[in-house]
A and B are shown apart, each in its own frame.
Chain A
Amino acid sequence: MSFEELDHTADVLMRVRGATLGELFADAGRAMFHVMYGPCEDRGIERQISLDAENLESLLIDYLSELLFITEVENTVFCTFDVDIQGTRLIAALRGEPFDPARHSAGSLVKGISYFGLEIVKEEEAYVVEIIFDI
């Protein structure tokens, strides 16, 4: 559904909302790539990841950390995230484009995902989580 940046002096704090857990994870990925690179276009690069964890919060951290790893070693910027979650198993289909320093240098390098205050909460119509990206 959406993500919004909240005020945080040292790092970047994002509040992410999704109607389903899949949407929540998809938007968390979108939020992180927005922080790192700014605008991105789908130019046909495809990638799939699957993960399993002991709980949803750890799954979210593992998923975002995996995206950080992939973007860095494969020089890929992702813009669409199709995430399916069954219990604490995740399969994500990602689409994006090759990293281009001319177009992708407006953002901030994310060093890691913080556990601080990270809790997935089910509200009436959506799942909500606040994530601190270490910059």
Chain B
Amino acid sequence: MLEGINKIGDLEWEVPIGYVPNMRVSGRFFLSRTLAETLEEGAVRQLANVATLPGIVNHSLAMPDIHWGYGFPIGGVAAFDMTEGVISPGGVGFDINCGVRLITTPLTEADLAGKKRELIERLFTAVPTGVGAKSTLRVSNKELSEVMVDGARWAVERGLGTDADLVRCEGEGAMPGADPDAVSAKARQRGVPQIGTLGAGNHFLEVQVAREIVDPEAAKAFKITEGQVCFMVHCGSRGLGHQVATDHLRTLESALAKYQIQIPDRQLACAPIDSPEGRAYYGGMVCAANYAWANRQVIMHETRTVFADLFGIDYDEMRLIYDVAHNVAKFERHDVNGTSMEVCVHRKGATRAFGPGAPGIPHEYAAVGQPVIIPGSMGTSSYLLHGTTTAMQKTFGSTCHGSGRVLSRSKAKKEVSGKELREHLAGEGILVRAHSDSALAEEAPEVYKPSREVVRVVHEAGLSKIVARLEPLGVIKG
């Protein structure tokens, strides 16, 4: 482990006050010895930098997929006092409400026999992907305002899903407090043509099989069974979210002097939560988050339609288990040193993992805790977990979001041939479809930490518990 860090539990580490100047609280992160081998000093410094921000409550936290980002580390979680604290786009990231949803189908792997390639090709056609992808939906500027306020409900009201879907989304697929006036004309211009598009980078639409049920009782509550074919959607708020982040980061950076906030990294630009600049960012961020929920709803609808048509199954037989956000800031009530208080929780590359009985999770999951969905890297397992009381106590109800990169994109491209990778995965029965082989190389499994190790750490640390492991059968890569 890096110097200056204290071990305080089997999988828990402390970054003491003083690791960087002006820390107000200590840092805490969760990591195994294996994952510690790839821990970057820059990521720990970023975790410590977050601890210098005004109004931070308890600790600056990071999940076991921690890695070096900008502003907050990726995998970072921090809560801020609503009066003394700040809100920062650097704690959310450019891809506001990047998130994941998981859907079950009534099919088994055998049902896909002979049709898998056709399925993947049809999904690739139905869901626009890659750089420059444009939507087949026509949305007016007025409708875009409705998307930004209503989120997934906007899509359901257009017939792109059912009311039951909404109940099974974090926050029912929309956050309150959207302020369309805080979204610039530029952001709108980017958002209009992209609704229902997957985007690029590590975003994907994946056909999977539930290979292993680890917790039968929770699996029963989530209605997932071994051998069941599922699909997973991983994407965010596209250009609209990127522009909202860019615009407000700029405003907040200029306002630092006004609020006399000293920060060690300009990417941590922030403002008091209840200031004009802070409120504007929150209102704009909510608009982008809601756009992302609508986006995933549309993509799920298109995917269901392809499955229904190709396999003769009913649309309603494809049940959304849950939809989670992993780049967002939310106002939540948490128990802090024995007192219930409202805080602004930033999760940047971290997933909400509310435990049993926590408010805001679907009634049908109340006894188990909310579903937590952790996408694997391309060709590796994804996981379904449930939230825990331990997460509520230790991490403001948060857990990891993915695997975390260990190899840069440029090295990946040098070391991995996209074509060979595609052929190798096909040999394992995993069909991959993308606009270019070069884009595949960047997302090769070996450039990420093993998702099983990241998930093992959150499971053993009690931040969430494994319910099921899913293996990929086919991937539409963004």
Tell me the A residues contacting B by CB distance below 8 Å: 5, 7-12, 36-38, 54, 58, 61-62, 65, 68-69, 72-73, 75, 99, 101, 104-109, 111-118, 132, 134-135
Looking at the complex, which of B264-272, B338-346, B374-382 is the stretch in contact with chain A? B264-272
B409 and A114 contacting across the interface, CB-CB below 8 Å = no
Which 4 interchain pairs have the tightest Cβ spacing?
A116-B70, A112-B94, A115-B266, A109-B200
Closest B residue to A7 by beta carbon equals B408
* Sample (9) of A-B pairs whose CB atoms are under 8 Å apart: A9-B40, A54-B254, A73-B189, A105-B130, A106-B438, A107-B438, A108-B200, A109-B199, A112-B242
B68 touches A9 (CB 8 A): yes
Given A9-B68, A10-B74, A116-B70, CB of A107 within 8 Å of CB of B131:
yes
Across the interface, do A106 and B439 meet the contact criterion of CB distance under 8 Å? yes
The residue in chain A whose Cβ has the minimal distance to the Cβ of B95 is: A111
| B408 pairs with A116, CB closer than 8 A | no
- By the criterion CB–CB under 8 Å, are A116 and B200 in contact? no
Question: Is there contact, CB below 8 Å, between A115 and B242?
Answer: no
Would you list which residues of chain B between 385 and 410 have a CB under 8 Å from chain A? 405-410
Q: Which residue of A lies closest to B437 (CB)?
A: A106
The reply to whether A108 and B409 form a contact with Cβ atoms under 8 Å apart is yes
Closest to A114 in B: B70
Determine which of B94, B265, B409 lies in contact with A116 in the assembled complex, contact meaning CB atoms within 8 Å.
B265
Question: Interface of B with A (CB < 8 Å)?
Answer: 40, 67-71, 74, 93-95, 130-132, 186, 189-190, 199-201, 239, 242-243, 245-246, 249-250, 253-254, 265-267, 269, 405-411, 435-436, 438-439, 442
Inter-chain CA distance A75–B193, complex, in Å, is 12
**Known contacts A109-B200, A116-B70, A116-B267; is-contact A7 B410 (Cβ 8 Å):** yes
A69 touches B186 (CB 8 A): yes
> Are A10 and B410 within 8 A (Cβ)?
no
A12 and B409 within 8 A (CB): yes
A129 smallest CB distance to B (angstroms): 14
Nearest chain B CB to A96 CB, angstrom units = 14
Residues of chain B within 8 A of A114, CB atoms compared: 70-71, 267
Q: What CA separation (Å) do A36 and B405 show in the bound complex?
A: 19
Contact partners of B408 in chain A: CB under 8 A: 7-9, 12
Query: Which A residues are in CB contact (< 8 Å) with B442?
Result: 108
Taking A111-B94, A115-B249, A116-B266 as contacts, is the C-beta distance between A9 and B131 under 8 angstroms?
Answer: no
CB of A115 within 8 A of CB of B69, answer no
Contact across chains for A115 and B265 when beta carbons are under 8 A apart: yes
Kindly report which residue of chain A lies nearest to residue B438, judged by CB atoms.
Answer: A106
Contact B245 A9 (CB under 8 A): no
Most chain B beta-carbon neighbours within 10 Å: one of A36, A72, A75: A72
| Pair B242/A111 contact, Cβ less than 8 Å | yes
| Total A-B contacts with CB atoms under 8 angstroms apart | 109
Q: Are B242 and A68 in contact (CB under 8 A)?
A: yes
Among candidates A5, A62, A69, A108, residue contacting B190 with C-beta atoms closer than 8 Å: A69
* Shortest Cβ gap from A120 to chain B (Å): 13
Q: Which residues of chain A are near B438, meaning CB under 8 Å? A: 38, 106-107
Bound CA span A37–B267, Å: 26
Report which of A7, A62, A65 forms a contact with B411, defined as CB distance below 8 A: A7
Known A69-B190, A134-B70; 15 more pairs at CB < 8 Å: A9-B406, A9-B408, A10-B69, A10-B405, A12-B410, A69-B243, A101-B130, A101-B131, A101-B132, A101-B435, A108-B200, A109-B199, A115-B70, A134-B93, A135-B409
Cα-based distance from A12 to B250 in the complex (angstroms): 21
Q: Please determine whether A9 and B67 come into contact, CB atoms closer than 8 angstroms.
A: yes
Q: Are A105 and B131 CB-contacts (below 8 A) given A73-B189, A73-B190?
A: yes
A108 to B199, CA, bound (A): 10
> How far is B246's CA from A61's CA once the two chains are assembled, in angstroms?
9
Contact B250 A11 (CB under 8 A): no
Assess whether A105 is in contact with B439, with CB atoms less than 8 Å apart: yes
What residues of A have a CB within 8 angstroms of the CB of B69 in the complex?
10-11
Most chain A CB neighbours (cut-off 10 Å) among B68, B74, B94, B246: B246
Query: A108 contacts which of B253, B405, B439 (Cβ < 8 Å)?
Result: B439
**Contact indicator A72/B239 (Cβ below 8 Å):** yes
| CA A108 to CA B407, docked complex, whole Å | 15
Q: Smallest CB–CB gap between A27 and chain B, Å?
A: 17
Instruction: Judge whether B70 and A109 touch: CB under 8 Å.
Output: no
The interface residues of chain B lying within 8 Å CB-to-CB of A8 are 68, 408
How far, in Å, is B155 (CB) from chain A's closest CB? 22
* A11/B70 in contact, CB under 8 A: yes
CA distance A127 to B45 in the complex (A): 27
Residues of B within 8 A of A5 (CB): 410
- Give the chain A neighbours of B189 by CB distance below 8 A: 69, 73
Nearest CB on A from B393, distance (A): 29
Minimum C-beta distance from B440 to chain A (A): 11
Query: Closest Cβ of chain B: how far from A55's Cβ, in Å?
Result: 10
Are B132 and A75 touching (Cβ within 8 A)? Answer: yes
Q: Are A37 and B131 in contact (CB under 8 A)?
A: yes
Q: How far is the CA of A135 from the CA of B439 in the complex (A)?
A: 12
- In the bound complex, residues from chain A placing their C-beta under 8 Å from that of B253 are 58, 115
Expressed in whole angstroms, the Cα–Cα distance for A117 and B49 within the complex equals 13
